[in-house]
Structure 1
Amino acid sequence: MVSSVRTVLGDVRPEDLGVCDAHDHLFLSSPQLPGRELGDATAARAELEAFRAAGGSSVVQWTPWGMGRRAADLPLLSRAAGVHVVCATGLHQAAHYTTQLLDELRGRLADVFVSELTEGIGTSGVRAGIVKVAGGFHALDTHARWTMIAAAEAHHATGAPIAVHLEMGTGALDVFDLLCSELGVPPHRVILGHLNRSPDLVVQRQAAEAGCWLAFDGPSRAHHTTDWRMPRAVQALAEAGFGHRLLLGGDTVVAGARSVDGGPGMPYLLRRVRPRLALELGEELTNRVLTENPGRAFAVEWR
């Protein structure tokens, strides 16, 4: 069986991903972001095209179930912009959903994840390529444990990688303890997101030593006070021998953050972050973090 990355247009070889934004959003809506939703397909296409013009080739959208991911629109956008797009299944923190929506999933969450990974999302025919879940601030509450148990079941059934939102960048080791130590998910199938938001070099190194992927994303208006530390954190990890565990993403979550709406958006990753990292890591390793690493992180032997 050959490893492949599951995109919205079908499975592709890891080496065909090219330059990858490993954590971003084309569409996203939540009660936590009233009036700032990513819901405009024309703007989403323009953003993808701007990313492509900057040298980008693929985007992994971490928007999970029930948060306006608009799976049916993704193949059209991917073709039009000439950019590979990976779609997520999964579930975010409870605050992003109504009680009614969560009640609909009781007792069948893992089945929903597996179905969206293998059969497709609704009537769109689009199959998800990752499971996205979320932890809490320095802890895992009942909701987080419920979603991660379901994600682990989905992984064991399909091989899918699990991408984890770390609240304020915290709780990485708690996630590892649950998903890997208790639930048997191989560490190299776990992607820890937002590590730049809590620049704890000890925890970052421990997570890397455990074998997880470390995703650094931004810039973020809410977390700009830690954004500037990211290059040095990435450099420290690379010097410690963990350059092969690093991923980079933009994490555009509100309309005003898009480059086509006046924000940094997806192109910022290549326009500003890439040359900044090249000063710390060198061109060779920076290119590997943007190309080879995502191919290895998101490619699996699908079951």
Structure 2
Amino acid sequence: MLQTVTHSIDEQAAGRILVHEHIMVGFVEDGKLSAADYDNEEVVSAILPLLLALKASGCSTFVDCAPLYLGRDPYILKQLSVQSGLHIITNTGLYKCPYLPDFAYEASERELSAMWIREARDGIGDSGVYPGFIKIALNDGTTINDTQQKILRAAMRTSLETGLPIQCHTIGGDIALHANEIMRREHFERSRFIWVHAQTGTDLNVHRQLAEAGMWISIDSILPGTYEKHAGMLRQLIEHGAGERILLSQDTGWYTVGEERGGVLNPYHRLFTDFIPYAVEQGLDAQWLERCVTRHPFEAMSRRG
């Protein structure tokens, strides 16, 4: 089952899933983004037409990946879900420096996980909205720093307690391998973990290794101008044996807090209307592509027992 902002849904109801997208993002440092920085109705009026076009393209479920202090607003998400008819999923968790509040550096792993477990059990504030996954991020580079290791371990603790999967912003294969090693040592099931932005990894042997360990591989920057590159990468990932752990998305759209009327807004529907037909023309299997936006993300995002 998947936990949306209004209720739980099964695989049939989930249908086609965009596994990594954003409704609103506010890049305000030190965790200082607040609801006073944007107008709810303006956000809704800007984004609703894009969601309606997405639903018309055959998509049923939208996973919003903005964590707390980076644009998560359960009230906006619930309103957009009701008005668009799309299932929308939100999260608990934290991002990374410089968008973390002071307490994120001071709190222990147990204290952070206790906050996220509380949201999973009691809902987000008084919104009546429950998170459907844990969203975190790791720093760039070759190794994970102490703060982001603490956040990763807190997410692992939360996942084990609540059953929620982890989506983790992870740039490059070295950082993904370090995360994998931490989870391996803790005997944490990698099937609970989604390597977000896996297209940034250049050595596809890393993707093969992590897919064999059970990790989900999210290719989520499939935007106009990148279709040939991504179709080629997907073909190579299949050849490397990672095909049954692949998720597809775009990481696009979003209302940007602080820009006039949210800045430039990109449509959400092109993965379905443009890329998948193109990929089929390039020889990729249509049924496999469909699994990458239905069965695979449903399994990856489902709550564990």
Question: What TM-score do you get using the length of structure 2 for normalisation?
Answer: 0.86
Q: Structure 2 counterpart of 1:14, which letter? A: E
Task: Give the one of 31, 44, 57 matched to 1:41.
Answer: 44
Could you list the per-position Cα deviations for residues 123-167 of structure 1 after superposition, in whole angstroms to 9, with x for gaps in the alignment? Answer: 111110111111122220111101011001101101110111013
2:16 aligns with one of 14, 19, 22: 19
Corresponding residue for residue 8 of structure 1: 5
- Answer yes or no: is 1:83 the counterpart of 2:86: yes
1:104 is displaced (CA, Å) by 7.3
Structure 1: gaps (5+ residues): none
Q: Is 2:145 aligned against 1:141?
A: yes
Q: 1:196 aligns with which of 195, 199, 202?
A: 199
Q: Could you say if the C-alpha distance between residues 245 and 218 of structure 1 is closer, same or farther in structure 2, counting changes exceeding 3 Å? A: same
Q: How many residues align?
A: 291
**Which secondary structure state, in structure 1, belongs to the residue aligned with residue 63 of structure 2?**
strand
Cα 1:12–1:187, aligned 2, differ >3 Å: closer, same or farther? Answer: same
Q: Which amino acid in the other structure matches residue 281 of structure 1? A: L
5+ residue gaps, structure 2, are 257-261
RMSD: 2.8
Distance 1:266 1:25 in 2: 10
104 and 64 in structure 1: CA distance in 2 versus 1, 3 angstrom threshold: farther
The within-5 A match list for 1:49-60 is: 49-60=52-63
Residue type at the aligned position of 2:290: N
- Rounded Cα–Cα distance in structure 1 between residues aligned with 2:303 and 2:272: 26
1:293 corresponds to which of 289, 293, 296: 296
Partner of residue 209, structure 1: 212
Equivalent residue, structure 1, for 2:157: 153
Post-superposition offset of 1:69: 0.8
- Identity across aligned pairs (percent)? 26
- Asked whether 1:175 is paired with 2:179, we answer yes
Please say if residues 222 and 249 of structure 2, whose CA atoms lie closer than 8 Å, have aligned partners that are also in contact: no
CA 1:169 to 1:95, structure 2 compared with 1: closer, same or farther past 3 Å? farther
How many angstroms apart in 1 are the aligned matches of 2:247 and 2:162?
23
CA contact 1:91–1:133 (8 Å) conserved in 2: yes
| Structure 1 residue 113, shift from structure 2 partner | 1.1
CA shift, 1:66, in A, is 1.9
SS of the counterpart of 1:294?
helix
Counterpart contact for 1:27–1:37, Cα < 8 Å = no
Cα offset, 1:298, TM superposition: 0.8
Residue 274 of structure 1, aligned match among 276, 280, 297:
276
Distance 1:44 1:184, change over 3 A: farther
Instruction: Flag the 1:165–1:51 CA change in 2: closer, same or farther, 3 A.
Output: same
In structure 1, the residue corresponding to 2:59 is in which secondary structure?
coil
* TM, length-normalised to structure 1: 0.86
What SS class does the counterpart of residue 70 from structure 2 fall into?
coil
Change in 2 beyond 3 A, CA 1:37/1:136: farther
The answer to whether the Cα contact below 8 Å between 2:23 and 2:255 also exists between their aligned partners in 1 is no
Q: CA offsets per residue over residues 196-232 of structure 1, 9 Å max, x none?
A: 12332121111111110000111469xx7x7753222
Q: 1:29 maps to what in 2?
A: 26
Q: Secondary structure at the match of 2:237?
A: helix
CA contact (8 A) 1:196 1:217 kept: yes
Which residue number in structure 2 is paired with residue 124 of structure 1?
127
The question of whether the paired residues in 2 share the 8 Å contact of 1:196 and 1:229 is answered with: no
Does structure 2 retain, via aligned residues, the 8 Å contact 1:213–1:297? yes
Q: CA deviation at 1:239?
A: 3.3
Q: Distance in 1 between matches of 2:104 and 2:133?
A: 20
